[in-house]
């Protein structure tokens, strides 16, 4: 009955995971709204309902825990134990006996424990959010609503949600999820990072997607950001065929990155530890463009010792016997707190003591890290470079380079995340051996838009001409000095943006390993003069949407 | 009332997996056991939320208390558990 079908219509968001997909929508259920309180006639029955809801929540979490692995398994198992907590049950019983209905008794009891945990701060403060998740589940159970969380419709589907938090995506089955589409979220949101890590097509900030009902077939273009709803069988089949073709075409591309006319571009990967590369196809990859070292420091009471660091770095260096590994020194601060640093809370953590700024008070932490990198590098075949995060001035850059050289590290550079650094790129390159542009932070600081803000996703878009202009300034400085200027933020993983960045003069692109084939294929389609023309068009646009439209 | 005082050996303190192991073991005892830090209020050891809320860090001394049949055996078992570095142990069923 084609006449009765909703007409196909196009929604638009920001494409953050390249690729095509088509399939039926399954929405992640939103947390249930609490209805108005109601008087309770039979308190014992009401209490039995509340207890059953907690038991159902526990059973659901337990089942999910048993299906999960590793850390996710532990987290879900601990959540199941919380749902089964006798103290919680007593609190609910007390409130129901005092006349509250089951849903409100659950909400109020969870809230009290939530406040208690939140007031303790740190690790426990973070668990407060888990408690909310458990509360939503128990309340949904008592109200007879669908459990919030990942849907499991029993067939492959396009996952639609308001936004995705890390806890939502634990146990996400990449075998059945075809694509991710979220109503909110921006290019640096968890959804975007997850999509790239999993190699799923994804669109974020897609207004109106939550109004699309479950089962509606949509076609998702994770490059352009377009989501077509209500597409017919023929169009869906066509999209699937094109997606399959695209995948086999990408898989066929091998070798190092270069433009159609052979201009070389180093394709590199971002890693948090050696484990990130397990099973990755590293054909043609020139090395690690961003080795985040935070993993060694998280959840620690004391800083990791020299020997421990040497071992961890050596493990990562061993993976690239012929490549370059760029180590970023500790990037922590009030937004990524580490207990042993003893940093005070700050009103604006993103503008506070973070990254290299920590070494103002704690030079010992940087020195130990540089010494460990140098020691591990001595034994490694890889060409090891170091760089500092959050550098603002040439003086800071020079101080960092001096420290690195003092430990025998030959190649020391800085990240460009602060607009001041981009504006003074030429001066930075008089002291630093290379620049690496962290586009996530650089766009946050350039557009004055919080990275966490879904509402400002359009401003955080890496296609913003102002951001591209700062990248161009760095690349120009690199060209004049003959030094390397790379991009290691999320922008480098966007295949459509890759020729633009190369046209601006960027020489290295570093991204999640899974994104390499799509970026390599796109670069190979343009010669260098075309890249430069695309860069001119993007720079000439009035905003990100115009820039994208001018290039695609 | 029988009590045991023991320093928590788990590197992350009584959080996450060590807390889960401890709470599960407490729930498996025949006698209800309570746990407190110093002279603070004693809370049920079989309650994950109560145990987490104590905010026990690595090396913190906690006191376990129980009354009734089998209290000493229950306290010994739980004190021995807390004296182990639970973070360093692999999950048995992984």
Q: Are residues A204 and A220 in the same domain?
A: yes
ipTM of the complex: 0.86
> Domain total for chain A?
3
Question: In which domain, by residue range, is A405 found?
Answer: 265-551
- In this prediction, residue A200 has a pLDDT band, given cuts at 50, 70 and 90, of confident
Q: Does residue A531 have an active-site annotation?
A: no
C-beta atoms of B48 and A77 within 8 A? no
Q: How many whole angstroms separate alpha carbon A243 and alpha carbon A241?
A: 5
Collect all residues from A whose CB is shorter than 8 A from any CB in B: 69-70, 73-74, 77-78, 81-82, 84-88, 113, 116-117, 120, 123-124, 127, 131, 299, 301
Residue A256 lies inside a defined structural domain of this protein: no
**Which residue would you say has higher pLDDT here, A232 or A6?**
A232
pLDDT at A422 (0 to 100) = 98
**Which residue would you say has higher pLDDT here, A229 or A188?**
A229
Query: Over the stretch B56-79, which tens digit does the pLDDT of each residue have?
Result: 888 899 999 999 888 999 999 999
Are A170 and A149 in contact by the 8 Å Cβ rule? The answer is no
Mean pLDDT, all residues of chain A: 88
Query: Over the stretch A508-552, which tens digit does the pLDDT of each residue have?
Result: 999 988 888 889 988 998 999 999 999 999 999 999 989 988 987
Q: Are residues A427 and A292 in the same domain?
A: yes
Residue A257 lies inside a defined structural domain of this protein: no
pLDDT at A193 over 80: no
pLDDT at A117 (0 to 100) = 81
Q: Are residues A285 and A310 in the same domain?
A: yes
Residues linked to residue B3 through DSSP beta bridges, in sequence order: B65
Q: Are residues A377 and A271 in the same domain?
A: yes
C-beta atoms of B58 and A301 within 8 A? yes
pLDDT at A123 (0 to 100) = 65
CA angle at A501 for the pair A498 and A507, rounded to the nearest 5°: 100
Q: Which helix (H) or strand (E) holds A518?
A: helix A516-523
pLDDT at B94 over 60: no
Query: Over the stretch A325-342, which tens digit does the pLDDT of each residue have?
Result: 999 999 987 666 777 787
Annotated catalytic residue within B15, B36, B58, B84:
B15
Residue the block writes with tokens 């073709």:
A245
- In this prediction, residue A3 has a pLDDT band, given cuts at 50, 70 and 90, of very low
CATH number at residue A184: 3.50.30.10
Q: How many whole angstroms separate alpha carbon B60 and alpha carbon B65?
A: 16
pLDDT at A376 over 70: yes
pLDDT at B93 over 60: no
Q: Are residues A244 and A296 in the same domain?
A: no
H helices of B29-70, in order, are 48-53
Q: CB of B3 within 8 Å of any CB in chain A?
A: no
**Which residue would you say has higher pLDDT here, B11 or A199?**
B11
pLDDT at A386 (0 to 100) = 98
pLDDT at A432 (0 to 100) = 98
Query: Over the stretch A433-483, which tens digit does the pLDDT of each residue have?
Result: 999 999 989 999 999 998 777 678 889 889 999 999 999 999 999 999 999
Phi-psi region of A40 (alpha: psi -120 to 50; beta: other; left: phi over 0): beta
B17/chain A closest Cα distance in angstroms: 7
Average pLDDT score over residue span A309-328: 91
- In this prediction, residue A70 has a pLDDT band, given cuts at 50, 70 and 90, of low
Q: Are residues A303 and A387 in the same domain?
A: yes
Which domains does chain B possess?
3-87 (3.30.1340.10)
Residue A258 lies inside a defined structural domain of this protein: no
Buried/exposed A99-110: b ≥16 CB within 10 Å, e otherwise:
ebbbbbbbbebb
Q: Are residues A207 and A76 in the same domain?
A: no
């Amino acid at each position: 009955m084609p006449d009765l079908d909703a007409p196909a219509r196009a929604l638009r968001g920001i494409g953050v995971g390249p690729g095509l997909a088509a399939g039926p929508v399954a929405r992640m259920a939103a947390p249930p709204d609490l209805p108005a309180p109601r008087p309770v006639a039979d308190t014992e029955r009401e209490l039995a309902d509340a207890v059953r809801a907690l038991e159902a929540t526990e059973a659901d979490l337990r089942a999910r825990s048993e299906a999960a692995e590793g850390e996710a398994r532990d987290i879900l198992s601990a959540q199941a134990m919380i749902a089964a907590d006798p103290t919680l049950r007593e609190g609910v019983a007390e409130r129901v006996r005092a006349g509250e209905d089951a849903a409100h008794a659950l909400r109020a009891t969870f809230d009290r424990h939530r406040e208690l945990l939140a007031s303790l701060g740190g690790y426990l403060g973070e668990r407060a959010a888990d408690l909310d998740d458990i509360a939503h589940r128990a309340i949904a159970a008592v109200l007879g609503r669908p459990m919030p969380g990942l849907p499991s419709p029993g067939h492959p589907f396009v996952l639609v949600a308001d936004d995705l938090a890390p806890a939502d995506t634990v146990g996400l089955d990449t075998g059945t999820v075809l694509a991710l589409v979220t109503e909110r979220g921006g290019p640096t949101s968890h959804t975007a990072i997850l999509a790239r890590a999993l190699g799923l097509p994804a669109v974020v900030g897609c207004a109106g997607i939550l109004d699309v009902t479950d089962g509606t077939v949509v076609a998702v273009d994770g490059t352009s950001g377009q989501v077509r709803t209500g597409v017919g069988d023929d169009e869906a089949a066509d999209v699937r065929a094109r997606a399959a073709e695209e995948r086999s075409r990408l898989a066929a591309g091998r070798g190092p990155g270069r433009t159609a006319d052979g201009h070389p571009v180093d394709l590199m990967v971002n890693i948090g530890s050696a484990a990130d590369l397990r099973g990755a196809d590293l054909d043609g990859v020139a090395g690690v463009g961003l080795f985040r070292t935070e993993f060694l420091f998280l959840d620690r009471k004391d800083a990791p010792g020299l020997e421990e660091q040497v071992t961890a770095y050596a493990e990562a260096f061993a993976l690239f016997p012929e490549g370059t590994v760029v180590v970023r020194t500790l990037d922590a601060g009030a937004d990524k707190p580490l207990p042993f640093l003893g940093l005070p809370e700050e009103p604006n953590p993103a503008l506070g003591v973070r990254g290299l700024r920590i070494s103002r008070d704690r030079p010992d932490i940087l020195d130990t890290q540089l010494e460990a990198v140098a020691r591990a590098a001595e034994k490694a075949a890889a060409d090891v470079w170091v760089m500092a995060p959050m550098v603002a001035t040439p003086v800071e850059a020079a101080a960092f380079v001096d420290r690195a050289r003092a430990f025998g590290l030959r190649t020391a550079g800085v990240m460009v995340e602060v607009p001041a650094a981009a504006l003074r790129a030429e001066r930075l390159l008089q002291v630093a051996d290379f620049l690496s542009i962290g586009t996530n932070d650089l766009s946050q600081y350039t557009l004055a838009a919080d990275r966490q803000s879904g509402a400002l996703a359009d401003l955080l878009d890496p296609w913003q001409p102002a951001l591209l202009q700062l990248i161009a300034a760095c690349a120009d400085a690199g060209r004049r000095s003959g030094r390397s200027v790379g991009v290691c933020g999320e922008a480098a993983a966007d295949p459509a943006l890759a020729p633009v960045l190369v046209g601006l003069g960027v020489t290295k692109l570093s991204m999640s390993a899974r994104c390499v084939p799509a970026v390599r294929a796109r670069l190979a389609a343009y010669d260098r003069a075309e890249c430069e023309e695309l860069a001119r068009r993007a720079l000439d646009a009035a905003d990100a949407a115009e820039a994208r439209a001018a290039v695609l | 009332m029988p009590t045991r005082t023991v320093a928590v050996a788990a590197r992350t303190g009584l959080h996450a997996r060590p807390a889960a192991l401890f709470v599960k073991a407490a729930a498996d005892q025949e006698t209800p056991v309570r746990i407190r830090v110093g002279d603070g209020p004693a809370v049920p050891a079989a309650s994950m939320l109560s145990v987490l809320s104590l905010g026990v860090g690595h090396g913190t001394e906690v006191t376990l208390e129980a009354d009734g049949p089998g209290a000493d055996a229950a306290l010994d078992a739980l004190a021995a558990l807390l004296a182990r570095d639970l973070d360093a142990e692999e999950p048995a069923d992984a």
